[in-house]
Amino acid sequence: MYLQLHRLVIQLESEDTAVNEEWQRLFDGWLVAEPAQVDLRLRLNLVQILPPLPTSPPVFADSRPLPNDIGVLSVYAAAPGMVWLHYHDGALVQVPLATEASQPTIRGVVTPAAVPYGRLEDITFTSLAPALRRQGYYLVHAFAVGRGDTAVLIVGASGSGKTTSGLSLLLGGWQLLANDILLLENREDGLYALPTPGGVNIRPATFDLLPALQERFTPQKGRVSISGQQLSRGQWAKPARVALVLLPHIEGARPCCHLQPANRAVALVRLLEESADRWDTAVLDGHVDVMEQVSQQTAVYHLLLGQDVANLPELIEGVKT
């Protein structure tokens, strides 16, 4: 299948139905017929057990834990201009880093445990990220919405409330740019947030906080998983200049949401935490420059979340961007 990601066409290949079906769900509305040219290829196949890891020590190990206290990612040097990405919950992917490669191919394997609940989305985009950076697209973990020429980024770790906050803004009339993985592009007049496909997981507590969401999706005992295409009803926001960054914090029983101005240095640190692949040293300086530009061109606020998160659209109306 072929994913049209703005000016790039990415061929997604797998021999396995489960992988193809999850890609179909994640990239609903963004898949195209066979194009005249392919810019990048990603091949992922299922295995029950990952092959042996390289014997040399990793050049990078991400210390942030996933559930059950397993790490996220280790990176191993492979052949010159090549690395292995080991996703600890079940994937091993070989990624070329050479800029001169024509139609580079990324190859790897995933276990069945790494396919559902958004993990294949993370693996897909993290594996594509080095090639995307070399094409001028920079990834950041954020929920992003747009309205007119303005984009708002909600940047925070898993469990910080960014998805609930973003859904509140969508219910308030904003349009979807991205749920969890967002592409940024540097243009003549600043950094732009680009609509980016992917899945959305809505937890039961979010339905309790946002009753209007129940009119669009049926609450369930577990999480509700939908595509961005379903959430946006096919009406994605257009690329927009980033004007506001919100850093969410869940404040327990706080009755009302509150905005508190944030230091731009704090914003830069948070953006780098949620975006930078420190092991990709060849383009790290450029990546840092992009995130610094985001923090400098935007208004930045801590978003202290309360029980009235449904009123968030009204709260940010008065923010000067």
Q: What is the pLDDT of residue 70?
A: 44
Q: Please tell me whether residues 124 and 173 are part of one structural domain.
A: no
Q: Please tell me whether residues 177 and 292 are part of one structural domain.
A: yes
Q: Please tell me whether residues 290 and 229 are part of one structural domain.
A: yes
Q: What is the pLDDT of residue 255?
A: 87
Q: Please tell me whether residues 154 and 295 are part of one structural domain.
A: yes
Number of domains in the chain: 2
Q: Which domain holds residue 272?
A: 140-317
Q: What is the pTM of this model?
A: 0.93
**Residue at which a domain ends, from 99, 116, 135:** 135
Q: Please tell me whether residues 209 and 285 are part of one structural domain.
A: yes
Q: What is the pLDDT of residue 69?
A: 42
Q: Residue 291 belongs to a domain with what CATH number?
A: 3.40.50
Sign of CA dihedral 103, 24, 115, 109: negative
Q: Please tell me whether residues 232 and 261 are part of one structural domain.
A: yes
Q: Please tell me whether residues 102 and 32 are part of one structural domain.
A: yes
**Residue at which a domain ends, from 100, 135, 170:** 135
Token pair 């040219």: residue: 37
* β partners of residue 176: 145
**Residue at which a domain ends, from 105, 135, 165:** 135
Residue 110: φ, ψ to 5°: -135, 150
Q: What is the pLDDT of residue 65?
A: 53
Spatial distance between the Cα atoms of 214 and 111, rounded to a whole number of angstroms: 34
Q: Please tell me whether residues 304 and 165 are part of one structural domain.
A: yes
Which residues of the chain are under the pLDDT cut of 70? 63-71, 99-102, 252, 320-321
Q: Please tell me whether residues 303 and 175 are part of one structural domain.
A: yes
Spatial distance between the Cα atoms of 177 and 239, rounded to a whole number of angstroms: 8
**CA angle in degrees (0–180, nearest 5) for 33-227-215:** 135
